[in-house]
A and B are shown apart, each in its own frame.
Chain A
């Protein structure tokens, strides 16, 4: 009988904070391991409001036979890349959800039913970002300020 503990996940929580008003891409890795004595097939999915920003790579993969639940020997594992793509325009300040890994039956394996384990995800949209202008924009801003000052000086001198 399979158990949810026949799947190893690390970390079990992802807490991400990104700046508001800035297109951001954050990449995290989740280690998925198989401690059970059967080969397993794993399918990843994302639930909750955070799902719109997340892509998983790979979504589906196989893990070979592990050393057993009680063994301290190294377990076969795979890293799943989690990419958070947050656009500039977001309406909320907090998005929550879960990255779920479902252990599915493998042909020839002993597992007969599916088991799930999830990684809790919290995405916080932080304070407003400051844009970093290229030097030519900053230079033009200085010119604009100078022209504003010169024109007002010129205008007042002419009045006198």
Chain B
């Protein structure tokens, strides 16, 4: 697993957390309209672009994580945007689940790599 993939997912998850906290305490800030769309769409899009770019860059090192990142990126943008515009927290829950899944897979992947390295060292 490439460093960039781990950091990409970690930064994406952190930004998702910041975005959801902003949603909670500064809900009104997403009202600002840029090119006919609320700021909720543009911020979510910017954050998910980080995930998309790092996923594409690391597609050779871990295919599952990269493909999931590419699929999750537009889905995550949509979930946040629709959650804010429709004020439906079920979509927001979906938005939080995506980085949790990616972090979980990252941990599993790292754990398996560490185990293989330890076995090789013992040999």
Query: Which positions in B face A, CB cutoff 8 Å?
Result: 6, 10, 13-14, 16-17, 20-21, 23-31, 38, 87, 89, 92-93, 96-97, 99-100, 103-104, 106-107, 110-111, 114
Interface 0/1 of A146-157, CB less than 8 Å to B: 011011101100
17 A-B pairs whose Cβ atoms sit less than 8 Å apart in the complex: A20-B28, A21-B30, A89-B38, A131-B23, A133-B24, A137-B92, A137-B93, A140-B96, A140-B97, A141-B96, A143-B96, A143-B100, A147-B103, A148-B14, A148-B17, A152-B10, A154-B107
Main secondary structure of the interface of B (DSSP, over half): helix
Size of the chain A interface, CB-CB below 8 angstroms: 28
CB nearest neighbor in B for A19: B28
Taking a contact as CB atoms closer than 8 A, the residue among B26, B38, B110 that contacts A128 in the complex is B26
**Contact between B107 and A130 (Cβ–Cβ < 8 Å)?**
no
With A130-B25, A131-B23, A155-B6 as contacts: A147 and B100 at CB distance below 8 Å: yes
Taking a contact as CB atoms closer than 8 A, the residue among A88, A151, A158 that contacts B103 in the complex is A151
Given A128-B26, A144-B96, 13 other A-B residues pairs in contact with their CB atoms under 8 A: A21-B28, A21-B29, A133-B89, A134-B89, A140-B96, A143-B96, A144-B13, A144-B16, A147-B99, A148-B17, A154-B111, A155-B6, A155-B110
**Contact between A154 and B110 (Cβ–Cβ < 8 Å)?**
yes
CB proximity of A127 to chain B, nearest CB, Å: 8
CB proximity of B44 to chain A, nearest CB, Å: 15
Q: In the complex the two chains form, what is the Cα distance from A155 to B93 in whole Å?
A: 26
Q: In the complex the two chains form, what is the Cα distance from A23 to B26 in whole Å?
A: 15
Taking a contact as CB atoms closer than 8 A, the residue among B10, B20, B30 that contacts A141 in the complex is B20
Taking a contact as CB atoms closer than 8 A, the residue among A20, A22, A145 that contacts B17 in the complex is A145
**Contact between A88 and B31 (Cβ–Cβ < 8 Å)?**
yes
